[in-house]
């Protein structure tokens, strides 16, 4: 039964995961929360690990959640389940490649739906961040300072583009620094 | 990740050309699922059929899978250490910031206006406060868009 739930959840995440890694987070979070598979803290921690390790965030989350819930086979099954919808849909697309590019390029239904989904995806990413802003992750005012500093440094290259801002806005560096700050403050 | 794929597949191996690569990105992003995996399926199919797909997907998934599996095996015990727990207290708000900050760039590249900004605001509120499953929000977006185009084209044809 557990394996069936894992499979259905991650199949759903793969099937409705539009718009890349961050947009998929709110879907994963909702599934994990509804099944009570892990605490919110643990979910944030695994996102942190995903940010500093290579590879797609969706695969990382699927493997981790699968392992903690169902061991080795759980992780294999979840990872397979998140990839399966892609396999079915992308292979159909490949088989009909020429037919599709002729028919869908410039098709108002298709283009407009994709445009609207881009706006929805922005909302999905925002909700993923909002859902994580809870007392379990933001324990005191220091948390808000870390949040503010990291957010500012991340969007800085949009305004001042040079080598320095590029380096200090790197997510891996920021996570390492935040971890170091956490160690100094809370340990 | 896309520049990395481009360098490997277009420049170095010459498996597909520039134009096909751009088509591939459009398809991989339009289709649901992980963009890296979708790209791998497309390229695998173009150059090697079923075998190509199997190889490319395994190549795209396996490194992440093995790294995270190794981490997952030790992470829970490891996190009991007070020093690690303290570090994670600092890391958690940073992660939320890393999720929230790209919103700025996403909104800019989607050329959002005050009116269209209502869509992501409504979506975020529905999920955050209404606890609506994102799946329903995505389905609703697709349905509402298709219906509104259908209605407007029906009206203009009359």
Where is pLDDT greater, at A7 or A98? A7
Residue A11: pLDDT over 90 = yes
**CA–CA separation, B43 vs B16, rounded Å?**
8
Residue A15: pLDDT over 70 = yes
Where is pLDDT greater, at A144 or B24? A144
B11 min Cα distance to partner chain A (Å): 21
Least confident stretch, A111-125, A129-143, A169-183: A111-125
B118 min Cα distance to partner chain A (Å): 9
**Same domain, residue pair B85 and B153:** no
Whether A90 and B31 have beta carbons less than 8 Å apart is answered as yes
**Same domain, residue pair B16 and B52:** yes
Mean pLDDT for A70-97 is: 91
Residue B152: pLDDT over 90 = no
Please indicate if any CB of chain A lies within 8 Å of the CB of B33: yes
Whether A138 and A147 have beta carbons less than 8 Å apart is answered as yes
For chain A, give the mean pLDDT: 89
**CA–CA separation, A71 vs A58, rounded Å?**
18
pLDDT of residue B6: 83
Range of the domain at B144: 113-158
Mean pLDDT for B104-128 is: 89
Cα–Cα nearest to B31, from A77, A100, A98: A100
**Same domain, residue pair B54 and B131:** no
Residue A114: pLDDT over 90 = no
The CA-atom distances, in angstroms, between B57 and each of A40, A74, B10 are 30, 19, 18
Mean pLDDT for B128-135 is: 90
Residues in chain A closer than 8 A to B143 (CB atoms):
none
Residues in chain B closer than 8 A to A112 (CB atoms):
145, 149
pLDDT of residue B76: 80
Residue A138: pLDDT over 80 = yes
B155 min Cα distance to partner chain A (Å): 15
**Same domain, residue pair B117 and B69:** no
Which secondary structure element, helix H or strand E, spans residue B48, and what is its range?
helix B35-79
**Which DSSP state fits A156?**
G
Residues 6+ apart with CB under 8 A from B29: A19, A20, B35, B38
Are the beta carbons of B104 and A130 separated by less than 8 Å?
no
Residue B135 is assigned to a structural domain of this protein? yes
Where helices occur in B80-133 by DSSP H, the ranges are 82-100, 102-109, 118-128
pLDDT of residue B53: 93
**Same domain, residue pair B93 and B140:** no
Number of structural domains chain B divides into: 2
Q: Where are the domains of chain A?
A: 2-132, 138-187
Whether A22 and A92 have beta carbons less than 8 Å apart is answered as no
Question: What predicted TM-score, i.e. pTM, was given to this entire model?
Answer: 0.85
Residue B108 is assigned to a structural domain of this protein? no
Are the beta carbons of B34 and A14 separated by less than 8 Å?
yes
Kindly indicate the confidence band of residue A98, based on its pLDDT and cuts at 50, 70 and 90: low
**Same domain, residue pair B11 and B52:** yes
A interface mutation test: which of B49, B100, B113, B137 has the most A CBs within 10 A?
B100
B15 min Cα distance to partner chain A (Å): 15
Mean pLDDT for A55-59 is: 89
ipTM of the complex: 0.87
Q: What percent of chain B has pLDDT over 70?
A: 99
**Same domain, residue pair B56 and B11:** yes
Least confident stretch, A93-97, A165-169, B62-66: A93-97
Whether B93 and A178 have beta carbons less than 8 Å apart is answered as yes
Q: What percent of chain A has pLDDT over 70?
A: 97
User: Chain A to chain B, count of Cβ pairs less than 8 Å apart?
Assistant: 318
Kindly indicate the confidence band of residue B13, based on its pLDDT and cuts at 50, 70 and 90: confident
For chain B, give the mean pLDDT: 88
pLDDT of residue B153: 84
Please indicate if any CB of chain A lies within 8 Å of the CB of B111: no
pLDDT of residue B107: 87
Residues in chain A closer than 8 A to B139 (CB atoms):
16
Residue A78: pLDDT over 90 = yes
User: Of B100, B132, B148, at which residue does a domain stop?
Assistant: B100
Residue of chain B whose alpha carbon sits nearest to that of A112: B145
Kindly indicate the confidence band of residue B110, based on its pLDDT and cuts at 50, 70 and 90: confident
Residue B7: pLDDT over 90 = no
**CA–CA separation, B91 vs A137, rounded Å?**
9
């Amino acid at each position: 039964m557990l394996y069936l739930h894992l499979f259905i959840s991650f199949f759903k995440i793969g099937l409705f995961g539009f718009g890349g890694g961050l947009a998929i987070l709110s879907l994963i979070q909702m599934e994990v929360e509804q099944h009570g598979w892990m605490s919110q803290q643990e979910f944030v921690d695994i996102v942190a690990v995903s940010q500093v390790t290579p590879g797609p965030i969706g695969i990382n989350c699927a493997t981790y959640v699968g392992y903690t819930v169902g061991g080795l086979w759980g992780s294999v099954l979840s990872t397979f389940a998140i990839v399966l919808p892609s396999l079915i849909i992308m292979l159909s697309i490949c088989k009909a490649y020429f037919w599709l590019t002729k028919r869908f390029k410039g098709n108002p239904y298709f283009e407009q739906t994709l445009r609207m989904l881009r706006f929805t995806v922005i909302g999905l990413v925002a909700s993923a961040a909002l859902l994580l802003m809870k007392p379990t992750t933001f324990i005191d005012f220091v948390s808000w300072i870390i949040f503010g500093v990291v957010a500012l440094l991340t969007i800085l290259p949009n305004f001042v583009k040079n080598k320095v801002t590029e380096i200090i806005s790197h997510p891996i560096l920021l996570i390492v620094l935040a971890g170091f700050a956490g160690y100094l403050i809370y340990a | 990740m896309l520049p990395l794929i481009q360098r490997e597949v277009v420049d170095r191996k010459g498996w597909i050309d520039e134009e096909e690569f751009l088509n591939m990105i459009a398809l991989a992003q339009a289709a649901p699922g992980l963009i890296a995996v979708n790209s791998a399926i497309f390229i695998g199919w173009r150059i090697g059929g079923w075998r190509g797909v199997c190889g490319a997907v395994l190549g795209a998934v396996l490194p992440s899978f093995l790294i995270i599996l190794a981490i997952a095996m030790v992470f829970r015990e490891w996190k009991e250490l007070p020093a690690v727990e303290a570090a994670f207290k600092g890391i958690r708000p940073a992660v939320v910031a890393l999720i929230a900050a790209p919103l700025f760039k996403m909104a800019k590249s989607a050329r959002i206006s005050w009116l269209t900004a209502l869509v992501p605001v409504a979506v975020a509120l529905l999920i955050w406060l209404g606890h609506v499953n994102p799946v329903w929000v995505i389905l609703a977006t697709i349905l509402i868009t298709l219906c509104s185009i259908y209605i407007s084209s029906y009206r203009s044809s009359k």
